[in-house]
Amino acid sequence: MGGRQMLKRLFAPAVLAGAAALAVLAAGSLAKSPVLAAAVQSGAHAEIAPWGIDLTARDPALKPGDDFYRYANSHWLASHEIPADRTRWGSFDELQERSLQQLRGILEGLPKDASPGSNGQKLNDYYQAYLDTAAVDRLGLTPARAGLDAIAAARTPADIARLMGRQELRLTAPLELLTTSDERDPDHYMVTITQSGLGLPDRDYYLKDEPVYKELREKYAAHIERLLKLAGDSDAAAGAKSIVELESQIAAAHWPRAKRRERDLTYNPHTREELASFAPGLPWPALLAGAGLETQPRFIVRESDAVQKLAVLFNEVTVQRWQTYLRYHYLVGNADVLPKAFDDEVFDFYGRTLHGQQEQRARWKRAVRAVDQGLGEAAGELYVKRYFPPSSRQQMLELVENLRAAYRQRIEHLPWMGADTRKLALQKLAAFHPKIGYPDKWRDYSALEVKPGDAFGNVSRAVAFEWQREVKRLGGPTDRGEWGMTPQTINAYYNPTFNEVVFPAAILQAPFFDPNADAAVNYGAIGGVIGHEMGHGFDDQGAKSDARGVLRNWWQPADEQAFHQRVDRLDGQYASFEPLPGLKVNGRLTLGENIGDLGGVSVAYEAYHRSLRGAAAPVLDGLTGDQRFFLSWAQVWREKQRDEDLRSQVTSNPHSPAKFRVNGVVRNVDAWYPAFNVQPGEKLYLPPEERVHIW
């Protein structure tokens, strides 16, 4: 990912379009946009007939006030199964499958005689080489031999540190180096040093004593042993035991994920010279030289005392133990382009055991994803030309502006915010920069060499190309036109250091957005998504940056206290949800996403009513406009998920499970109660004084 910004994603960063886009942005709200108003109100030819809501998914026999998520989706949940090659299945996954099919058609339709060095030649050779598993099997470990030999040749701690810095090896190591825009100086790039080094999803998998985690650790050790045996290790059992013990020590040093969200705690600048005294024990010059950062003058350390503990651990562990650890992670990191036995073993543990995925995905799907990772914008340029009409971009810009107007009105009337903070909040809102569909300038891949029949080398060179691209721009101005996702990605994000909201082309289709759907449906779906991403600018972490994206406290103390009182109440609500027996949602880890959801739905609801321009919403198939709005939000989040994957998400992901992204939100939105006649005594009912209203 170029720039590797701290992106706040929806589901888990120039001028946008020249003078024409600026004219649209200046035009203001949807009330001034008859084109979009007519499109979203027409109801003609909606992709989900008749006007955008799946009427067959509901179960009217259920009380909306007891479980709105199941009320909206019960029949869909009962009639759908998770495909064997998936860990979950829902609206996002359906669109992802469509995107994969579309990209497959593009890649397989490329001319075979494209000129050498062109994007067409590189896309075709990258895709075809990845598909050619016969060639991958025939080559065996030969392509990986240079990396394995380099690990085997290490003799000193400095040798190990230098290997840890080499990005093209695709290693997991105790420390990770990233390039980002500087949170206190967003006009310049910075190198960030952050904790890493675990093969399991989170520190809890190593540190918790519950039987489920003990069993997973045993299965992890057995997997490591099998993989090392495949590579010819003579004492794979001892190596596996050593790796699990070492990673348990690494996990003990790590900060919990909820603490890692705190942006004011994770901005700790150090000069290159200071690193040695700040965290002695680690050969910093060798680590930085391995990454090509030996002349970088300044770094940001995210988890200060964790990095210090990891440096101590690095010095205490023998070179031989580090070699075994790096050897395993090198094989895992490159397994997709190694012979089938390696690929299957890694899938068996990381896919089947950890996440419940029953079958490996078809090779062509994985090849498309590999192209997306290595040549994403080259593929995206072709995707946009075929599947994203300019009219969708303009309509989305107009929707963003209507959401901005609704946010403005709500901030102007917040009862808990004082005038000084309100003024700066409105300045930040006005400075929000929307990016819709695709970048205005496509990435230049001319320096990336892609060879036919060399799947392993192509992936390694793509990783090295991206890292070198990022390193070369250190010290220069940030590129605010750059994107952190490809156009074919089913997702969206907010980037706090650029104060921008970004919506790739692929998510701008039904059920999220349909230009022919009912207005309430579009506002409940893509309107809620837009509001969610804008809301990240005002969540508990995004609110720590000002209009320019500078990390600083711009709040008056009384307003900050009032904000956190509301935020803490939302934390408490979500912390009571229990997705699996004995496993509750981490309210603090998921707080930013929950604030985004609540603010997004609240503001999208107001924007929907603004779009009506005083007219009454029509009743369609017996459903009022408000009912259609909330049903639309509920249906875009419908999802079936395997228990193993759900456990991993709750433990390590800042997003709440889908059910709670619906039920946890609507019970705090006043308009939901009369829309579905929700009464005291029903399970989701909250008395008015207990409902959380933030933005």
- Domains located in the chain, CATH noted: 63-83+390-438+487-695 (3.40.390.10), 157-334 (1.10.1380.10)
Cα(174)–Cα(194) distance, integer angstroms: 9
Could you tell me if 614 and 678 are in contact, meaning their C-beta atoms sit under 8 angstroms apart? Answer: no
Per residue in 147-168, pLDDT tens?
A: 999 999 999 999 999 999 999 9
Cα(473)–Cα(187) distance, integer angstroms: 12
Mean pLDDT of 372-386: 98
pLDDT of residue 239: 98
Q: Is the pLDDT confidence value at 244 over 50? A: yes
> Token pair for residue 202?
């989170």
Mean pLDDT of 227-247: 97
Of 196, 179, 147, 168, the closest CA to residue 2 belongs to 179
> Token pair for residue 39?
């499109």
Q: Helices marked H in 473-590 — which ranges? A: 519-522, 528-535, 557-575
The band of 19, judged by pLDDT with boundaries at 50, 70 and 90, is very low
* Integer CA distances (angstroms), 626 to 50, 57, 207, 360, 401, in order: 17, 18, 46, 42, 21
Cα(574)–Cα(283) distance, integer angstroms: 43
Q: Is the pLDDT confidence value at 467 over 50? A: yes
Per residue in 261-292, pLDDT tens?
A: 999 999 999 999 999 999 999 999 999 999 99
* Integer CA distances (angstroms), 653 to 85, 586, 629, in order: 21, 9, 27
CA angle 208, 209, 212 (to 5 degrees): 90
The band of 387, judged by pLDDT with boundaries at 50, 70 and 90, is very high
Q: Is the pLDDT confidence value at 21 over 90? A: no
The band of 44, judged by pLDDT with boundaries at 50, 70 and 90, is low
pLDDT of residue 6: 62
Q: What is the DSSP secondary-structure string of 69-138?
A: HHHHHHHHHHH----TT-SEEEHHHHHHHHHHHHHHHHHHTS-TTPPTTSHHHHHHHHHHHHH-HHHHHH
pLDDT of residue 39: 42
Q: Is the pLDDT confidence value at 36 over 50? A: no
Cα(125)–Cα(378) distance, integer angstroms: 13
The band of 29, judged by pLDDT with boundaries at 50, 70 and 90, is very low
Could you tell me if 114 and 499 are in contact, meaning their C-beta atoms sit under 8 angstroms apart? Answer: no
> Which H or E run includes 625?
helix 625-636
pLDDT of residue 220: 98
User: What is the residue type of 320?
Assistant: Q
Cα(51)–Cα(502) distance, integer angstroms: 27
Of 88, 339, 96, the closest CA to residue 231 belongs to 339
Rg of the chain, C-alpha, whole Å? 25
- pLDDT-above-70 percentage for the chain: 94
Of 478, 464, 465, 472, the closest CA to residue 165 belongs to 464
Q: Residues 137-142: contacts with CB within 8 Å, 24+ apart?
A: 137/339, 137/340, 139/339, 139/456, 140/339, 141/231, 141/338, 141/339
pLDDT of residue 389: 87
Pairing mode, strands 493-495 and 8-9: antiparallel
What DSSP state is assigned to residue 31? G
Could you tell me if 695 and 52 are in contact, meaning their C-beta atoms sit under 8 angstroms apart? Answer: no
The b/e string for 405-421 (b: 16+ C-beta within 10 A; e otherwise) is bbbbebbeebeebeeeb
Q: Is the pLDDT confidence value at 388 over 80? A: yes
> Token pair for residue 453?
């029949």
> Token pair for residue 258?
């909820």
Of 422, 436, 645, the closest CA to residue 529 belongs to 436
Per residue in 563-605, pLDDT tens?
A: 999 999 999 999 999 999 999 999 999 999 999 999 999 999 9
Cα(378)–Cα(606) distance, integer angstroms: 39
pLDDT of residue 38: 39
Mean pLDDT of 132-140: 98
pLDDT of residue 430: 97
Per residue in 479-505, pLDDT tens?
A: 999 999 999 999 999 999 999 999 999
> Token pair for residue 638?
């419908």
pLDDT of residue 32: 38
Those residues with Cβ within 8 angstroms of residue 278's Cβ, 6 or more apart along the chain or in another chain: 270, 301, 308
Pairing mode, strands 500-504 and 433-437: parallel
What DSSP state is assigned to residue 583? B
Pairing mode, strands 298-301 and 268-271: antiparallel
Q: What is the DSSP secondary-structure string of 371-433?
A: HHHHHHHHHHHHHHHHH--HHHHHHHHHHHHHHHHHHHHHHHT-TT--HHHHHHHHHHHHH-E
Could you tell me if 339 and 227 are in contact, meaning their C-beta atoms sit under 8 angstroms apart? Answer: no
Those residues with Cβ within 8 angstroms of residue 544's Cβ, 6 or more apart along the chain or in another chain: 263, 264, 496, 551, 552, 553
Question: Alpha-carbon torsion 618, 401, 629, 80, what sign?
Answer: positive
Q: Helices marked H in 254-335 — which ranges? A: 257-260, 272-278, 284-290, 304-316, 319-333
Per residue in 299-353, pLDDT tens?
A: 999 999 999 999 999 999 999 999 999 999 999 999 999 999 999 999 999 999 9
pLDDT of residue 174: 98
